[in-house]
Every structure is written in C-alpha cells, then in structure tokens.
Structure 1
Amino acid sequence: MTDQRPTLVLVPGAWHLPSTYDLLRGELDALGYPSLAVKLPTTGPDARGGLRDDADTIRAAIEAVSGPVVVVAHSYGGIPATEAVTDLPHVQRLVYLAAFVPDIGESMYTLLGAPEPDVVEGMFPIGADPRAQLYADVPEAVADLAISRLVDQRHQAFADRVTRAAWHTVPSTYIVTEQDASLSVAVQEQMAAHAKDVRRIATSHSPFLSRPAELAALLDEIVRG
C-alpha cells in the first residue's frame, strides 16, 4: 500500500441522509482520511428510482475521486454498493457495516427469506420505534437528532435484484454489530461469509453515531491491514 491515504466513500442505509456520517467523518479527518458521504436517490426528500439509481450514484461518486478509495456501506447500502463497485481498479476494499451482502440475482427480500411483494411502488415505512431498532446505544441528544433527520425510502430498492456482485473480485471486510436490534447477528454472520475478513464491534446498528471514534479506529486498522 502506498503512503497516500484512501478516500473513504460512505454509503448510508435506508431512510438515512449523508449527515448520518458527520460524527464519523470528523473522526476520520482526525486520523488523516479524506471522506465523502453519498446521497442515495431512493431516499428522500424527493425519493426516486430503485437499486440501479442508487448504484449509479455510488459509482459516479467513486469515479470522481482521484486516488485510492475504500467504500464503507451500511445496512441497505450494502446492496447498491455491491452492484456499483465492480471493475473500478482504484477501489482497494469494500467494507460492509452491518450490511446486506447480496449475490447476483438476490435482493433484500431474498436475503431475508421473505416473499417478494406484488407491488413495490411508493415508500417503505420506517419501524415504529427507530430509537430501539437503530439507535439503542446512541446518546439521547444524538439519537433525537438522527430520528429527526430520517426521510422517506423507496420500496422498489428493497425488491430490485443485483446484476453484479463486487465481493467476488474486490477485497471485502464485514463488520458485525454485536448488539444489533435491526439486523440480527445470526443474519449478519450468514452474509459475512462472503467477506474475506470479518471484524466485530460491540454496538447497536449505528456505531457511526454511538461510537464514532472506535469505528474510525477500526476502519483505520482495516485499511492498514
């Protein structure tokens, strides 16, 4: 690896805007890592499109970076990142953070073993208790702000199937969130089997909000590894 620090391209999950990574980006900056967070088209406001639109946006963000890139994708974001990151030689690694890891022909529904709906138009609602589901160990003020920033999410993105799977050719790491009430550890471990390297962090679903310094240090360790 060269002395040049890669840019970390951060992909949020469903219902989340790029601002969800603000605390983590501050910690990464302190460690000397440039970063950018992607706004997915299928998340509001003005949500549109499906999986392919998200993947195209991620790919465009990566292609705009000069120099090496590490992609970090959270939760649903793992699906469009898997579609997007193939055949980009300056991507050094794909990090799945409590994320879905599909193979070709799979969707979020197939990964969860759920029946695919007949209609996927419109928005998919957030759970009734996002604090418990997503932010159980996040400081109250930070969680309140995160909840206030949640936006609409297009349903189609959950049902679309991937046509490419970057983890077949791109070095990948899976970070298991061990106290996750949204994506169970058992499901995470099944998907982590696709990764070359598996790490763990003792947090809920959103370590970028609950333990941003610890997560930044873990990402630094993965990049340097």
Structure 2
Amino acid sequence: MTAHVEKTARLFVAAVVAAVVLSFSQAQAASGKPTIFLVHGAFADSSSWNGVVTRLLADGYPAVAAAVPLRSVKGDARALTSLLASIPGPVVLVGHSYGGEVISVAAEGRGNVKALVFVAGLAPDVGESAADLGNRFPTGTLGSALDAPVTQADAEKDLYIQQAKFWKQFAADVPEGEAKTMAVAQRPITEAALNERVAAAAWKTLPSYFIYGSLDRNIPAALHAFMAGRAHAKESVEIAGASHVVMISHAPEVAAMIELAASLP
C-alpha cells in the first residue's frame, strides 16, 4: 500500500474517532453492554449491516459499522485500530467476508475485544491469504465472476464483480432489484489484498463465532466449516439456502449470533 493511501486512511479514521468517541462512551455507559463493531468485506459497504444494526440498537447495544479502505489487510486493520482503541469497555468485533481477516488482525493485542464473529467471514491462519484458502477449497466461483483488474494511479489493481453476475454470485437470496443496486454501488478490493498473507490470527486466543450460508458462492460452506472447526468455534451455524450476504438476507439470525457472543462471559 502506498504511503499516500495509508496516510489518507489514517486521517479518515482520525476524523471519525473525533466525531464518535463521546457517543460511544455515553451509549455504553447507559446500556452496560459491549459495543458491537461491524466491519464489511469486499464488494460491499457499511450499509450492508443496516438490518443487523436496527436489531442491535433495538436491543440496547451500542454499535458502529466501520468503513474499510479495502487496500491491504495490514493497512485496513491499522486503519481501524484507532477507532477500536477509542471505544471504552468491551467490544465484539464482527467481520463479513474479507472483513473477517481484518478483524482477526486488528484484534491482536487489544485487551478490550471479548469475542470475534465471522459472518460468512474469512479466518486465515498466520501465513495464509484469502487466495490460499480459496485454492484449498476450489468450489467457489468468485474468480470467474470478477472483471479484469482495473489499475489505479497508485499501481494497485482493483477488482469488481461483473454487474451481470453479481446477483447470482454474491446475493442470490435477496431480491434481484436490490442486488442490482448493490452491484452498481459495490466497493472494489485490491488484488494484492486477496493475496496478502496475514501476520496475526486473533481467533486462536479469542472466543469465535461463525455464521454462513449453505449456498455461499464466494466462500464455500465447506471452507466456512473448516475455519470454524479449526478455530474451535463457540458456535457455528450454517443457514440453509443462504448466500454470501447472510447479514442482509438473514439479519435476525446474524443479530442473534452477535448478541450471543456479546452476552457470554
């Protein structure tokens, strides 16, 4: 990741921290509950958590859905740590897809993180990348759905899902019209991020929870089950017929899993 992009990410997060740290303190003090820190993945944005957040707030949980630069695992985790460090009291980190990698790195050494929740999320071991895991379980079809990389001014190569394939590939269990809107608004991820091997795996030491769809075409159910087993997950739920965007299509179940992680010691 270039120095310019990294600096931009740090400045962005610093501005967010200044705006929200007081509200975190007030909300958590009032509820007595841990803050739920939600991290989106590739080809998505923070709005993908809207249905989950509505339920968390109704149940009295302070929450924040953080924006992720999607430039590199290390840089994205670093971009979140200032915001994470600003939250008083316990935090439950929740990551969707590539966001699972980010939370597992960002949580390393953070004493206020009480649990990790992987929502159709990747949980690579130290030295593994998203691409490595995909090659280990090659039944996913994401590769064939991607557009050719778009080279940016900083020489990074951005990847998008082809709009015509987005619905069936990424969000097959949401209405087609909604999926088409998501396809247009999708956030790209760099090719380098998907090939980056992680340097930390907080799921080895923190209680971890997994929820995913049986018809996930980005990350096959067999890979989710493998990662959950390897992490000795406290709870692992496969939702029959669900796609990669379980937080959208099955928000009540995802919110319930998060609240389970938040409520257990």
Residue 218 of structure 1: CA displacement?
2.7
Distance in 2 separating the partners of 1:146 and 1:208? 14
Q: Match for residue 173 of structure 1?
A: 209
Partner of 1:206: 245
Q: 1:60 to 1:86 in 2, by over 3 A?
A: same
State the shift of 1:26 in Å.
1.0
Aligned-CA RMSD value: 2.2
AA at the equivalent of 2:230: H
Q: Hey, what does 1:57 align to over in structure 2?
A: 79
Contact preservation (8 Å) 1:167, 1:194? no
Report the equivalent of 2:234. Answer: 197
| Runs of at least 4 residues off by over 6 Å | none
> Structure 1, unaligned stretches of length 5 or more?
43-48
Q: Which amino acid aligns with 1:40?
A: V
State the secondary structure of the residue aligned to 1:193.
helix
Question: Is the contact between residue 123 and residue 154 of structure 1 (CA under 8 Å) also seen in structure 2?
Answer: yes
Instruction: Name the CA shift for 1:82/1:218 in 2 (closer, same or farther; >3 Å).
Output: closer
Aligned 8 A contact 2:134 2:219 in 1: no
Give yes or no for contact 2:208–2:234 (8 Å, CA) kept in 1.
yes
CA deviation string 1:199-223 (max 9, x = no partner): 2133221122112123212322332
1:26 to 32, 51, 54: 54
1:71-220 equivalences under 5 Å are 71-113=93-135, 121-127=156-162, 128-195=164-231, 196-200=233-237, 201-202=239-240, 203-220=242-259
Determine the C-alpha separation between the residues in 1 that align with 2:103 and 2:84: 11
2:263 corresponds to which residue? Answer: 224
Paired residues of 1:176 and 1:185 also in contact (CA < 8 A): yes
TM-score (norm 1): 0.86
Contact 1:178 1:185 in 2 (8 A): yes
Letter in 2 for 1:172: S
3-state SS of 1:101 partner = coil
Q: Work out whether residues 119 and 247 of structure 2, in 8 Å CA contact, stay in contact via their aligned partners in 1.
A: no
* Percent identity between the two aligned chains: 33
**Partner amino acid for 2:44?**
H
Moved more, 52-61 or 174-183: 174-183
SS in 2 for 1:129: helix
TM-score (norm 2): 0.74
Structure with bigger helix share is 2
Whether contact under 8 Å (2:126, 2:200) holds in the other structure is yes
* 1:107 Cα deviation from its structure 2 partner: 0.8
CA contact (8 A) 2:98 2:122 kept: yes
Per the TM alignment, residue 113 of structure 1 is displaced from its structure 2 partner at its CA by 2.2
1:124 corresponds to which letter in structure 2?
Answer: L
Gaps of 5+ in 2: 1-30, 137-150
| Higher mean displacement: 144-153 or 17-26 | 144-153
The one-character-per-residue Cα deviations of 1:128-179 (angstroms, maximum 9, x if unpaired) are 5111112111134433432232122211111111111111211111223223
